């Protein structure tokens, strides 16, 4: 059996779509969800902070970031892993669906990254990982809004290095 990754030694902030409707942000390598147990881990309860966060409510991102910094003093890694898909023909899809996809999949990720990035720049240390989709490169049938939002992430993420 392989050894567990030691990423948990570094404060790691990640956003993850828990159920397709409520986007959450958690702190740590492992995150407890309702009803789940943390098994096979050296993490202790005090090393994990779970904060409810609606990624589309960008006004809440700064406060959530400050709460994590207050609890742990630093954020070494941000993993953006939230997203929602869509399956429908463009002609049959309400414009609001496209707006929601862009707000969650793109703007929510940008906002959370912008909240964490100044802390990393100040410390001259940190990593940002954005989990994306092949749909951001090659379009997928019935998913034009999803593909557009993932493409936006694809072209934006490398620009953080500049």
Q: How far apart are CA 150 and CA 156, in angstroms?
A: 10
Q: How far apart are CA 160 and CA 147, in angstroms?
A: 21
Distance of CA 84 to the CA centre of its chain: 12
Strand partners, 14: 26, 79
Spot the catalytic one: 145, 146, 149, 153.
Answer: 146
Is 146 an annotated catalytic residue?
yes
Catalytic site residues? 146
């Amino acid at each position: 059996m392989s050894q567990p990754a030691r990423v948990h030694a570094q404060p790691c902030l990640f956003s993850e779509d828990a159920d397709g409707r409520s986007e959450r942000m958690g702190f740590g390598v492992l995150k407890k969800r309702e009803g789940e147990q943390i098994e096979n881990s050296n993490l202790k309860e005090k090393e994990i902070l779970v904060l409810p966060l609606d990624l589309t409510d960008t006004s809440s991102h700064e406060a959530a970031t400050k709460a994590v910094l207050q609890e742990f003093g630093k954020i070494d890694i941000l993993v953006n892993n939230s997203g929602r898909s869509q399956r429908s023909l463009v002609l049959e899809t309400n414009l609001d669906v496209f707006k929601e996809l862009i707000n969650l999949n793109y703007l929510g990720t940008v906002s959370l990254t912008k909240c964490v990035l100044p802390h990393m720049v100040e410390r001259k240390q940190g990593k940002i990982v954005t989990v994306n989709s092949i749909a951001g490169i090659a379009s997928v049938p019935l998913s034009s809004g999803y593909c557009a939002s993932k493409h936006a992430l694809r072209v934006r993420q490398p620009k953080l290095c500049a």
